[in-house]
């Protein structure tokens, strides 16, 4: 049976099909609870996978990173600073009004990591950093954290020269998002 985060919300969640490790080491940063997932840059504002009902904070299916001694927060991958990605969030940090908000209560974010973990998510970058050019995914694409901490291929990253040095490979797409799979992306983690 697959492990699913964010139910009963039918969209905007992550589903773990095979997992290596779930981790809760490190406290969640304040930003991990309050970051606005719709305002900040044109890539974020024009992402068709998110809407105005998208909660604040780390989202299920987004990349998390080391944010200091004993701290885990949202990953800002497309930057000159090493992103220090450690995994992919299993649940939204804050959630919806009708859900228990475990990150708020425990001050922890649960994330998955480990080569061979496989998950599906419908939260990823839909446009490049210009906010207009669509990001097209295909099976076999490697995925990385975007500037917003969401999964993207090289089309969603401005400075691809940073891959491997400051931008960590998260995994490889096994099943690209399409109408046939309700626009879910299946990823096997390499992190």
pLDDT at 7: 41
- At 59-88, the pLDDT tens digits run 999 999 998 898 999 988 766 555 688 999
Find the mean pLDDT for residues 127-143.
94
pLDDT at 134: 95
User: 30: number of CA atoms within 13 Å, CB side?
Assistant: 0
pTM: 0.86
Which residue would you say has higher pLDDT here, 3 or 152? Answer: 152
* Residue found under tokens 């995925």: 143
Longest dimension (CA), the chain: 43
Tell me whether strands 71-74 and 27-28 are parallel, antiparallel or unpaired: parallel
């Amino acid at each position: 049976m697959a492990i699913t985060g964010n139910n009963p919300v039918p969209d905007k969640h992550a589903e773990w099909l095979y997992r290596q490790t779930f981790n809760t080491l490190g406290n969640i940063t304040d930003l991990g609870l309050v970051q606005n997932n719709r305002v900040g840059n044109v890539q974020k504002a024009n992402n068709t996978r998110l809407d105005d009902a998208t909660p604040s904070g780390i989202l299920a299916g987004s990349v998390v990173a080391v944010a200091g001694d004993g701290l885990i927060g949202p990953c800002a991958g497309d930057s000159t600073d090493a992103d220090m990605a450690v995994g992919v969030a299993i649940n939204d940090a804050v959630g919806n009004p009708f859900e228990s908000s475990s990150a708020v209560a425990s001050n922890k974010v649960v994330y998955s990591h480990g080569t061979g973990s496989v998950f599906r998510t419908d939260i990823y970058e839909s446009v490049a950093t210009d906010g207009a050019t669509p990001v097209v995914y295909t099976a076999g694409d490697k995925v990385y954290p975007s500037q917003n901490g969401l999964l993207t291929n090289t089309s969603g990253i401005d400075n691809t020269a940073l891959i491997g040095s400051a931008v960590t490979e998260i995994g490889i797409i096994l099943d690209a998002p399409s109408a046939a799979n309700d626009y879910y992306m299946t990823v096997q983690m390499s992190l």
